[in-house]
Amino acid sequence: MVIGAGLARLGGYPFEVRHSREALVRAQAAADIAADAYVYFRQLFPGVEPDIALIVADEADWESRQPYGLPFFNDDDGQIRPGVLVMPAGSGNFWVAIGEDLREASPRGFRRLLAAYPDGAGGLDLQPFFDLITLHELGHAFEVLGGLKLPTFWLGEIFANLALHAFVATKQPGSLNTLEVLSTVGAQSRRLAARMRAEGYSTLEELETHYTGGEKPMDPLNYVWYQYRWQRIAAKMFEADGEDGLVRFWDCFHATDRLHSGNVTAATLAPLLSAEVSQTLGRAVQRWR
């Protein structure tokens, strides 16, 4: 399917922007922050200018196997640009499910969420967090269209989260709390971790098998639990290594097949990551359980 082809255009940005009829304000907000990050990433990774479209779609225009509300990057042939970043225009059942999952698993942590993402009526509004996730998807655009040759799917997710964290910490530090509270609460919930290990998937190898295809596909909320943990790794890595860690990540895998995909595990990747990218990242991958 061609995603976003019939949607309205919004001009004035270094990439194409499309949006659903009632999503102009959300599209402008997403495009503004993405444009700043596009310039930032272009400076960190010289010579790379991904040809992309940012699509902000409401539920009626959502075209994906992903549930409405879970942003994604698509580089399938025949899209309106070589890469498309697809963002939800607003809340839906999936965002509600994220909140309910954490309310059940971590009542104390849920109170932190209410303080960080209030809806003004005593409830939870994750829109500010997902506005920032636009930059995670932009990180994927630089990764995929910029020539990174990553041997595992999950390593691309860590890269995208590190790119997101680097931009926010460097250029919009006032938004760090918005970025970090959800993943901190999710990653610290022992009850949530125990449930994923008992009822879902928890290892990096399981994610590689069940999120990217194959039998018994992963539940989207299980995938979000992985994202909580990857975001915390990105935060710790940036604290230890700063922008240099992101640049080393890029240089290590840019246009180079360092390891053959299919034969790669966390254990085989960890020494390379420790030696050439970040000891913090290498340790986190080595210790993943």
Q: What is the mean pLDDT of residues 216-229?
A: 95
Would you state the structure tokens that stand for residue 119, as one six-digit string? 């809806």
Q: Nearest 5°: phi and psi at 255? A: 60, 25
Smallest CA-to-CA distance from 88 within 112, 63, 108, 109 is with 63
Domain boundaries, the chain: 1-90, 92-125+147-289
Higher pLDDT, 278 or 63: 278
For the stretch 30-50, pLDDT in tens is 999 999 999 999 999 999 999
**pLDDT score at 261:** 55
Smallest CA-to-CA distance from 89 within 28, 172, 164 is with 28
For the stretch 148-192, pLDDT in tens is 999 999 999 999 999 999 999 999 999 999 999 999 999 999 999
**Chain length of the chain:** 289
Specify the CATH number for 1-90; select among 3.30.530, 2.60.40, 3.40.50, 3.30.2010.
Answer: 3.30.2010
Q: Can you tell me the distance from the alpha carbon of 31 to that of 29, in angstroms, rounded to the nearest whole number?
A: 6
Higher pLDDT, 241 or 263: 241
